Homo-oligomer: A and B are copies of this chain.
Amino acid sequence: MGPFEPKDPLFRARVMASFNRQEVMRTLGVEVASIEPGEIVLRMPYAAAYTQQHGFIHAGIVATALDSACGYAAFSLMPKEAAVLTVEFKLNLLAPARGEEFVFKGWVLKPGRTITVCEGHALASIGNEEKLVATMVGTLMAVFDRPGISG
Contact = CB atoms under 8 A, between A and B. Distances in A.
Interface of A: 1, 18-19, 21-24, 27, 48-55, 58-61, 63-68, 83, 85-96, 109-110, 114-115, 117, 119, 132, 135, 137, 139, 141, 148-151
Contact of A86 (B18, B59, B132): B59
Contacts of A119: 135
Nearest to A110: B94
A75 to B, nearest CB: 10
Contacts of A95: 110
A92 B139 contact: yes
A70 B24 CA distance: 23
A47 to B, nearest CB: 9
A93 B90 CA distance: 12
A90 B90 contact: yes
Contacts of A19: 53
A148 B54 contact: yes
Nearest to A72: B53
A27 B55 CA distance: 14
